[in-house]
Structure 1
Amino acid sequence: MELENNSFVLGIDVGTSSVKAVVLEPVTKEVLHSESRDTRAGLESECGAQGKEQDVCQIIRALNNCLTALPSDKLRKVSRIGVSGQMHGVLFWRTNQGCHWINSVNLRVFEPNAVSQLVTWEDGRCTTDFLSSLPRPQSHLNAASGFGCASIFWYLKNRPEFLQQYDAAGTIQDYVVSVLCGLRKPLMSVHNAASWGYFNTRTKTWNTDILQEWGFPIRLLPNVVDAGCIAGKTSYEWCGIPQGTEVGVALGDFQCSVYSSLTNSTDAVLNISTSAQLTFPMPEGFQPEDHPSPTEAVTYFPYFKDRYLAVAASLNGGNVFASFVTMLAQWTADLGLETTDSNIYTRAISAAVSANDTHLTICPTLFGERHSPDSHASVSNLTSAELSLGQVTRALCRGIIENIHSMLPSHQLKQSGIKRIIGSGSALARNAALKQEVEKIFPFPIVYGKDVDSAVGAAMVMVQE
């Protein structure tokens, strides 16, 4: 179905720490307006430090606030909505009670109701031993902690009564689409289904036989459709967006971020934000093999139109540098001195940019890796001559880049026909030392300034359909 004349497309991304919404002009693909809000949704988990959970009410409140900040005259002309969000995670709800619609400042918004907390992609409750006890998926993607199906298996073993409360499950973006369209049974794109595990991307079906044999509550699994499909139409007016507006099935934030910036098949995208990803598109017709080695660092994510992305997805990126800054701030406070995290961040980067080269080596896998969940960070080659702030910061930046390069090395990129790398992400944009290390380690032209944006990508997908 074609877009209406003089209409706009709304793109939404429900991220790990913030939500973003953009209004896109569909012909020029120009972003006319953009708003973002921090969710501040983190919660203490019953699993302690290993658990990573978020308050769904807080996320939706931020989303509603984000939309109401956009120009009302543009929202009234929105004819299609694209939605992306953080992958792998899971929340549960009751389809007949999952939200209620209210009037807020003369605008119609929805609030979650009968909804669980969101178990995010960062969740670590599924230990290596627990994962090894689960059935082997019929899929080219291994299950990992933080993956939706793995988390459901954890509840099945540890809190089976919890699952009895709900009749639907999905990612946070699936929930948003389900509520907007009033779906009786949630829909999920191939993007998000693959990110949950126990999904075969060739047949586009869940591993129902395997799951049923192990007592998995398959009633909770959404129906799966191709990425880019229309999930339905808005059941109510929402923040001034007309009732009856088309809504696309929720997409993966990673795929949408790549879609927003990738223009040539010979480009790779290196994105360093909270985590880090290096990816490039596989040729048309490529099909990944089932049952990869659990230690394989490169995985293949479904993209659009039955294509795949080769992906080295590291759990260690800007979050490692942020932990380093937090450590320095704590040391400073312990010494009775006062400064801000932002001041430490700025001074550490400045010192690293001007520092002499160092033999100090930092392995930055503070948060483990999916292909090596038990790995830890380490420091080696310490000498008394290489302990300055600049040298340590430089070594940390190098370690972050070397880690992602070890997962998808330059020779493999060259063999795949890659000619240049598009560098993007908030951590890379803010950290000149990281950029320097990228340019040292990767023997390709590096292009900056074409930043990835999942909300923009989600809107662009809706323009194409």
Structure 2
Amino acid sequence: MVGVGPPARAGQGDSHPLMAAAGGPGPTCVLGIDLGTTSVKAALVTGTERGLALAQSCSRETQAHSDSLGAAPQGMEQDVQKIIRALNECLAALPQQQLQQVTHIGISGQMHGVVFWKSDKGCRWSESAFEPDKVSHLVTWQDGRCSPSFLTSLPLPQSHVSLATGFGCATVFWYLKNSPDFLKAYDAAGTIQDYVVAMLCDLKKPLMSDQNAASWGYFNCRNKNWNTDILKKSGFPVHLLPEVGEPGSIAGRTTCAWHGIPKGTKVGIALGDFQCSVYSCLTERTDAVLNISTSAQLTISMPLGFQPPEAPDPSSAVTYFPYFNGDYLAVAASLNGGNVLATFVAMVAQWAQELGLQLQESAIYPRIIQAALAQKHSKLSVQPTIFGERHLPELLASVSSIGASELSLGHVTRALSRGLVENLCSMLPVQHLQDVGVRRILGSGSALARNEVLRQEVERILPFPVVYGKDVDAAVGAAMVMFHSK
């Protein structure tokens, strides 16, 4: 298998990751793609003797959330047709001349989720683009159909990762119990990024990186194998499990020209969007990465040679994610991030509508941020966990220390923003960051970029210098992995 360079790229100092040396002969133009929860992004990264540079990028909102009647209670599904349409729109917006020079494609996407398809009829090709055909909806990482009682009824995984709702294998178990005929219609499964790689390379058997496999559950990161014996005993359709390969390896080559990208272009095995986001900005092992987008993560590198425990600790708020070259990241991965702010804005809009006022959510967001900027402090305390947490799925949100003088939108928004940061720090405490030698915080993510109040609270709560990297993301990271492949 092909490996990648050291995750921290030690010695690069404070230089921008994109300016890292290209590493001698290799690809000169790479397309990086990220299939996110709410949007798709494509980035063209070029390599020269001086380093890497972002040449062009394009993003499109997918608007793929589905309210189909077939969705389970508390289900969260997305229409794959709309995701691929947004991807095609992104590529169509990039310069044809540069797309024709692409030699490698790196693809990342939202983890944990699962989509099913027919391996010989997964898409239709027309005019250098493909459209999904015999494909299910994507059941996303936000899916809530697997209740705590259902999860406890499943066999215990032989893995360091605790099983949670929204994990691919848990979702398959749910279908097996509640809608077994649904599974009979398909013979392949993977994350949305695995699906795209399979379609581009015409893979009859999906190929998945250990990053995505670990996010599904029932995968042993020590021996790099699925828990097939455990799964077979429970009647799990193990033929749906993809083969697993090393992140940074080549999954195959494009079987057709794709928006001008030549036939035969090398395509990397699909990666986790989280790992690619970290890869795009992490330059030193003494850095911690804070990402607040739809969800939120606080991440540190584990020492060289670290191996995760053999059994999961269901009560632990920290998860160990496979990274590159056998390294691991320690991650406090919260289900509550920008989605909480979005829900708050939607609530304000709904209240206004109930009062006979029509306000667009896009107009509300900047106004509440401006109101919060005028309130430097708030005694309000908001526990913002409206979506629970994987280690505490039944955790609810709460508001306390409510005083009559602090009921304005500004006070509430300030307290909510602070609560999001405090929640992360309760999962991976500041003292632990200090103990492992963290010296700097790298801040990234769309919510952090949009919300100055959130940035203020980060700088107030975390006693480290904070450097914001709004121009780096998973699509860029996926491209960089291809450059650093050997």
TM-score (norm 1): 0.97
SS at match of 2:103: strand
Match of 2:422 in 1: 402
Match of 1:74 in 2: 98
In 2, Cα distance between equivalents of 1:227 and 1:5: 18
Does 2:205 match 1:205?
Answer: no
Structure 1: stretches of 5+ with no match in the other structure: none
Kept in 2, the 8 Å contact 1:6–1:77? The answer is no
Match of 2:116 in 1: 92
Kept in 2, the 8 Å contact 1:422–1:450? The answer is no
Cα deviation code 1:69-89 (max 9, x no counterpart): 110111111000000001000
Does 2:318 match 1:294?
Answer: no
Q: 1:8 aligns with which of 29, 38, 43?
A: 29
Cα deviation code 1:239-288 (max 9, x no counterpart): 11100000000000000000000000000000111111000111110001
The structural deviation recorded for 1:342 is 2.8
Q: Percent identity?
A: 62
Does 2:56 match 1:42?
Answer: no
Aligned-partner residue type, residue 54 of structure 1: Q
Match of 2:107 in 1: 83
Does 2:13 match 1:22?
Answer: no
Cα deviation code 1:33-76 (max 9, x no counterpart): 00111111111153455101111111111111111111011111
Match of 2:11 in 1: none
More RCO (CA 8 Å, sep 6+): 2
Aligned-partner residue type, residue 67 of structure 2: E
SS at match of 1:20: strand
Q: 1:329 aligns with which of 333, 349, 361?
A: 349
Aligned-partner residue type, residue 81 of structure 1: I
Cα deviation code 1:329-358 (max 9, x no counterpart): 111222223433233211211121221522
Q: 1:109 aligns with which of 123, 126, 129?
A: 129
In 1, Cα distance between equivalents of 2:71 and 2:359: 33
SS at match of 2:60: strand
1:146-185 equivalent positions in 2, closer than 5 A: 146-185=166-205
Aligned-partner residue type, residue 36 of structure 1: S
The structural deviation recorded for 1:394 is 1.0
The structural deviation recorded for 1:139 is 0.5
In 2, Cα distance between equivalents of 1:445 and 1:217: 49
Match of 2:263 in 1: 243
Task: Sort the Cα spacing of 1:6 and 1:363 in 2 relative to 1 into closer, same or farther, 3 A.
Answer: closer
The structural deviation recorded for 1:26 is 2.1
The structural deviation recorded for 1:384 is 1.2
In 2, Cα distance between equivalents of 1:451 and 1:213: 47
Aligned-partner residue type, residue 100 of structure 2: R
Q: 1:230 aligns with which of 213, 228, 250?
A: 250
The structural deviation recorded for 1:383 is 1.7
Task: Sort the Cα spacing of 1:92 and 1:353 in 2 relative to 1 into closer, same or farther, 3 A.
Answer: same
Kept in 1, the 8 Å contact 2:144–2:166? The answer is yes
Does 2:332 match 1:312?
Answer: yes
Aligned-partner residue type, residue 122 of structure 2: G
Aligned-partner residue type, residue 59 of structure 2: S
Q: 1:303 aligns with which of 306, 313, 323?
A: 323
1:446-457 equivalent positions in 2, closer than 5 A: 446-449=466-469, 451-457=471-477
1:112-123 equivalent positions in 2, closer than 5 A: 112-123=132-143
In 2, Cα distance between equivalents of 1:7 and 1:441: 42
SS at match of 1:149: helix
In 2, Cα distance between equivalents of 1:252 and 1:262: 15
Aligned-partner residue type, residue 404 of structure 2: S
In 2, Cα distance between equivalents of 1:391 and 1:177: 46
Cα deviation code 1:433-462 (max 9, x no counterpart): 111111111111111135440000000000
SS at match of 1:173: helix
Comparing 344-353 with 269-278, which one deviates more in the overlay?
344-353
Aligned-partner residue type, residue 62 of structure 2: T
In 2, Cα distance between equivalents of 1:233 and 1:302: 25
The structural deviation recorded for 1:326 is 1.1
Structure 2: stretches of 5+ with no match in the other structure: 3-22
SS at match of 1:26: strand
The structural deviation recorded for 1:183 is 0.8
Comparing 202-211 with 330-339, which one deviates more in the overlay?
330-339
What is the aligned residue count?
461
The structural deviation recorded for 1:120 is 0.6
Kept in 2, the 8 Å contact 1:141–1:290? The answer is no
Does 2:445 match 1:425?
Answer: yes
Kept in 1, the 8 Å contact 2:417–2:453? The answer is yes
Match of 2:381 in 1: 361
Kept in 2, the 8 Å contact 1:281–1:309? The answer is yes
Comparing 383-392 with 28-37, which one deviates more in the overlay?
383-392
Kept in 1, the 8 Å contact 2:293–2:337? The answer is yes
Does 2:363 match 1:343?
Answer: yes
Match of 2:287 in 1: 267
Cα deviation code 1:161-212 (max 9, x no counterpart): 1111111100000000011111111100011000000000110000011001
In 2, Cα distance between equivalents of 1:220 and 1:381: 51
Kept in 2, the 8 Å contact 1:194–1:200? The answer is yes
Task: Sort the Cα spacing of 1:396 and 1:117 in 2 relative to 1 into closer, same or farther, 3 A.
Answer: same
Kept in 2, the 8 Å contact 1:89–1:118? The answer is yes
The structural deviation recorded for 1:110 is 0.8
In 2, Cα distance between equivalents of 1:270 and 1:437: 13
In 2, Cα distance between equivalents of 1:188 and 1:298: 24
